[in-house]
Amino acid sequence: MHYHRRKVCRICGSKNLKPILDLGKTPLANAFLTKKQVAKRDATYPLQLVFCPDCSLVQLAHIVDPEVLFKGYRYMTSGSPVLIEHFRREAAEVAERYRVGKDDLVVEIGSNDGVLLERIKDRTHVLGIDPAETAAVLAKKRGVDTLVDFFGNRIAKKVAAKYGQAKLIFANNVIAHIDDLDDVFEGVKTLLRDDGAFVAEVHWVYNLIGDGGFDQIYHEHLSYFSLHAYSRLAKKFGFVVADVEIVPIHGESLRVYLQKSGKPSPRVKQILAKEKKAGIDSIHAFRRFAPKVEKNRRDLLKLLNTLKKKNATIAGYGASAKGNTLLNYMGITKKHLDFITDTLPSKQGTFTPGAHIPVVAPEMLFSKRPEYLLLLAWNYAPAILHKEKALRAQGTKFIIPVPTVRVV
């Protein structure tokens, strides 16, 4: 089966897990297929969301074996100009904030192809830790020393023994991918200097159920954090939530600064109060989420089916993992979309999991000129709409599916 049901909360160990959303059985969101694989039936896995009322963590009920989940992993940070700029700015700002110098060590957990660490490698010693060999090869070409492995306390001890403790540890969009959070946070505690900081970005569940979208839910994302839940996790290992920022990435994310000592900033108290007011620390806010998702499905399918009855040509823009959650839950197939474009060469020539829609290079937009483009990477809508102003001037319209369906 290659998956199992998790019966206790990964933060507090509670068995009191409450179901809040069921997206059915879907293929892995990043399991793009070759032409030969399309003929075979996709492996599918339950995609159900549960809530822990004891610590406020939203999490998947079923865990897919990491060896299956990350086999042939194609995601590269460098495939997104928005993310490149975002992470480079973060690296510079945080390094300046903590006055990182030549003799310090900066580590990134889940460093992917090294975009973040490349920005500061000339001012300090950097080390990336990532289990994906293909990403590590690209990171090393950028001059970023990279250890190919899953991060945990064993690796933390190994790195500390060889390089010393780290002044900064980054972890962007990776904590949500990890089932054994205890091992990771023990490792951070081992590797981090007493005057250092652990800076992590996580999708904010407040945005997920508000202006964000259900398509951020897929098998890689095991946890969906509120600041309430993340604070509970930090306290468990003796960390102080020193500061937090809301950053406009993946809808909205939390950038949380953990330290071994200090006091919370006013922003920490403000965001906790905002979550409390919205009911994020209880199940009530999440029970309103499922009907909202179903309405989104009905609205988008109605629009696509109406356009196809008028013989409109429609393609997809951005072969993202989140897009595959949307396609498979909504039942959107190649009957609706002729193709999907993506800038990553590694995805071009493949087919989307489940829906089996061909992924092609962006040049296809100008040779085929579809009348409509379903923007699967909707979280980058402003940047993409600006980038494609020439295409829009020629008459192509974009369908933005989340948080509400609209045509621009």
Per-domain boundaries in the chain? 1-69+211-282, 80-203, 289-407
List, in order, residues 6 or more apart from 274 with CB less than 8 Å away: 206
Domain 80-203 = CATH 3.40.50.150: yes
d(CA 351, CA 359): 6
d(CA 76, CA 277): 37
Q: What is the reported pLDDT for 348? A: 95
Residue 212 · residue 246 · CB < 8 Å: no
Residue type, 20: I
398 token code pair: 């974009």
CB atoms within 10 A of CB 332: 25
Q: What is the reported pLDDT for 71? A: 64
User: Phi, psi (5° rounding) for residue 134?
Assistant: -65, -40
Crossing angle of helices 181-191/153-163, nearest 10°?
A: 20
Do the first three CATH levels of 80-203 and 289-407 match, i.e. the same topology?
Answer: yes
d(CA 133, CA 130): 8
State if pTM tops 0.75.
yes
d(CA 89, CA 91): 5
Enumerate the H helices of 178-288 as residue ranges: 181-191, 205-208, 227-236, 266-278, 284-287
197 token code pair: 């900081």
d(CA 30, CA 71): 9
**Radius of gyration (C-alpha) of the chain in whole angstroms:** 21
d(CA 288, CA 37): 38
Q: What is the reported pLDDT for 212? A: 64
Q: What is the reported pLDDT for 210? A: 80
For 327-391, what is the HEC assignment? HHHHCCCCCCCCCEECCCCCCCCCECCCCCCEEECCCHHHHHCCCEEEECCHHHHHHHHHHCHHH
Residue 161 · residue 167 · CB < 8 Å: no
CATH no., domain 289-407: 3.40.50.720
Residues in the chain predicted with pLDDT less than 50, given as ranges, are none
SS3 of 395, please?
coil
Q: What is the reported pLDDT for 66? A: 83
CA of residue 208 relative to chain centroid, distance = 12
d(CA 63, CA 220): 9
- Spatial CA neighbour of 66 closest among 128, 135, 158, 132: 132
- Spatial CA neighbour of 113 closest among 92, 90, 84, 85: 84
d(CA 214, CA 192): 34
